[in-house]
Amino acid sequence: MIGRTVQFSRLAVHPAVRRRGIATALLEAAETEGTEAGARRLVLHAQTYARALYEHAGYRARGSLFREAGIEHVAMEKELP
Ligand SMILES: CC(C)(COP(=O)(O)OP(=O)(O)OC[C@H]1O[C@@H](n2cnc3c(N)ncnc32)[C@H](O)[C@@H]1OP(=O)(O)O)[C@@H](O)C(=O)NCCC(=O)NCCS
């Protein structure tokens, strides 16, 4: 956490159990933990194929697409109440 902003880095779910809401639950848990720590804003770099995951969790894309480790990404953020 820097100031009141939390940055998430890596998120992965075992291939055998994907599309069952596990990543969504992990995002919710991280949000709860961040809120309890006093965060007001969550930010992350999403692989563009996974953008819907974060949009469903309330994140908005910000800025242009960019490449990180050779993979297309977009910055996303969510303000906390
Ligand atoms: C991305 C990842 C973490 C998603 O985990 P998950 O537990 O399957 O995600 P959820 O079940 O919570 O998905 C919630 C929603 O996100 C979207 N979503 C998830 N995986 C998606 C995919 N591969 N393609 C498109 N949309 C996807 C869907 O809208 C999904 O809702 P639906 O299943 O009702 O359609 C998982 O596919 C993964 O580990 N991928 C490899 C590592 C990686 O790319 N990490 C993300 C880096 S940004």
42-70 pLDDT, tens digit per residue, is: 999 999 999 999 999 999 999 999 999 99
Provide the CB-side half-sphere exposure for 76 (13 A, CA). 21
Contact 13, 22 (CB under 8 A): yes
CA distance 24 to 18: 11
Mutate to test the pocket of ligand 1, among 7, 10, 18 (most ligand atoms within 8 A of CB): 18
Mean pLDDT of 21-44: 96
Model-wide pTM > 0.85: yes
For ligand 1, atom 3: residue with the closest CA: 12
Q: How far is Cα of residue 34 from the mean position of the Cα atoms in its chain?
A: 12
CA distance 1 to 34: 8
For ligand 1, atom 48: residue with the closest CA: 46
Report the separation in Å between the CA atom of 13 and the middle of ligand 1, taken as the mean of its atom positions. 8
Contact 40, 68 (CB under 8 A): no
